[in-house]
Structure 1
């Protein structure tokens, strides 16, 4: 099943029918679809459709040069109207409406089953040697504070992306970006969710740049854990650092939140597993 999920992500432009995927799994095609549904809670067809629609939604939001027709064809649809119907069914927006003003709350709900499926079999076992204690310098950043329901995080991400492109800090410049987690991933009250979205830069940030402000991620000693899995959910790595590594290390956490550093900013058609993510736990 792990091979199947990896194959789907790497071959979204190929024929992904039952025969092809059951062969990847080395299962009989007569049983494969039942096993897949039993493990992941959704059919093979729906999983493939969601994977293609997610890639299409990323292209709509971020690749302004691609036409809706081209995106529809890349998603495996023979006609734009069939693509539009499927897109509207899953995201409650037409492709053109999503491109103009994405509803990221609906996006998160629509594609949650993909991440849930991966999380069921991509359980990563961390060990003490996976953690390195490093001393890092102060890092000046452009910061956008997201406060409120995590379902609206994409809207904040899009605002920062738009600002960074206008400021000449687009992803292709290779600048690292950070997420400073000031609350748990799913607080009891959704509105208590709190995270700072940051891009590394020492350029001056003016009042006119609001809601983006200047900030600094303080340097010092940190426990660093590279996360090789689905970077949409870093909670397993954070739990390992806090629950397992820290009590056994003899170290003490510093008064600054845990944060993630991404070596690459995700771009259209880049999969989560292609983005190198490191989790930093500040130490005294």
Structure 2
């Protein structure tokens, strides 16, 4: 049975995610936790490993940093003010402290190696206190239609995938294929935990019937057509690996099914930072033997 205090704590984390633009004072969060403010901040620090004000600050900063990195149409001044910083200069100082670059320098030439470890504190809190908790009944089997996509491959260290994502976003924008009009997919060829970094491959894809010639390396491809096991993962990217392990381990072992001759692929349904992190939605597709 789950400890009620941990359920309250999980509720607080979800509330913070969903109200980054609102009042996240100690009194407000203590009320969400149904706990006295005198004890709440100590309880939060004991469970999260960092003070509540620091957790809120990092959560707001993470959203702002993702906007700076992947939403070039949003001005850095707007990003700073939306994150609660009093001025762009204050945001720039925080950005330098966490990522070693100013926001403008990062937009021009990001250091993705630093980016890859910048959110470790938050991710560890989420993995421990906000587990996905999937069940075998959550998995459905569908007949997935073969789907034409535009595809850009990332080959190399996983921590550098951000630069490939930015190239693909720019190509989609130039070709009028935003996520609202064209579904977003990833094809996962390798496990980053077991594959040498230089050999790691992941494909970024968008539904597209015709890919015009281009210099960005985007090519026409097709997603597997056939039976697939589909598991919807709602929550942080930090928990996606746990959901995939559940699908391959617990579900596949007890299902009587065998995987098909095609890699796992994902549909990105709702994106952070466009939605709160705990509300991001990813449909995991596991091709099955016919």
TM value normalised by structure 1: 0.91
Does the 8 Å contact 1:186/1:193 carry over to 2? Answer: no
Q: Which residue of 2 aligns with 1:148?
A: 156
1:233 to 223, 232, 239: 239
> CA 1:101 to 1:231, structure 2 compared with 1: closer, same or farther past 3 Å?
same
Q: Paired residues, what number?
A: 281
Structure 1 contact 142–205 (Cα < 8 Å) conserved: no
Q: Higher mean Cα deviation, 184-193 or 122-131?
A: 184-193
1:187 aligns with 2:194: yes
Equivalent residue number for residue 19 of structure 1 = 27
Matches of 2:198 and 2:34, distance apart in 1:
45
Residue 250 of structure 2 corresponds to residue 244 of structure 1? yes
Determine if contact 2:95/2:101 at 8 Å carries over to the other structure.
yes
Deviation at 1:183, TM superposition (A): 1.0
Residue 101 of structure 1 deviates from its aligned partner by 3.0
Structure 1 pair 227–269 and aligned structure 2 pair: CA distance change class (3 A): closer
Judge conservation of contact 2:236–2:280 (CA < 8 Å) in 1: no
Q: Check conservation: 2:68, 2:107, Cα contact below 8 A.
A: yes
Identify the residue that residue 164 of structure 1 maps to in structure 2: 172
Question: 2:15 maps to which residue?
Answer: 7
Contact 2:132 2:239 in 1 (8 A): no
CA shift digits 1:3-48 (9 cap, x unpaired): 1111111211223222222222122323322322222222212211
- CA deviations 1:122-156 (Å, max 9, x no partner) are 22332222111111111111111112211111111
Compared CA separation, residues 115 and 183, structure 1 to 2 (3 A)? same
Shift of the 179–3 alpha-carbon distance from structure 1 to 2, 3 Å rule, reads same
Deviation of 1:62 after TM superposition, in Å, equals: 4.0
Alignment of 1:1-284 (within 5 A): 1-173=9-181, 175-187=182-194, 189-206=196-213, 208-264=214-270, 266=271, 268-284=273-289
Q: CA deviation at 1:222?
A: 0.6
- Whether the 8 Å contact between 1:63 and 1:268 is mirrored in structure 2 is no
For residues 269 and 54 of structure 1, the distance between their equivalents in structure 2, rounded to whole angstroms, comes to 13
**Distance in 2, Cα, partners of 1:56 & 1:64:** 12
C-alpha RMSD of the superposition: 2.0
Give CA deviations for 1:215-261 in whole Å, capped at 9, x if unaligned. 11120011111112224432122111211111221111111111111
Deviations 1:41-98 (CA, angstroms, capped at 9, x unpaired): 2221221111111221233234445433332221112222222111110111112212
C-alpha separation in 1, matches of 2:121 and 2:195: 21
Alpha-carbon separation, structure 1, partners of 2:235 and 2:140: 18
TM-score (structure 2 length as normaliser): 0.89
Query: Partner of 1:226: helix, strand, or coil?
Result: strand
8 Å CA contact 2:171–2:216 kept in 1: the answer is no
Which segment drifts farther, 162-171 or 71-80?
71-80
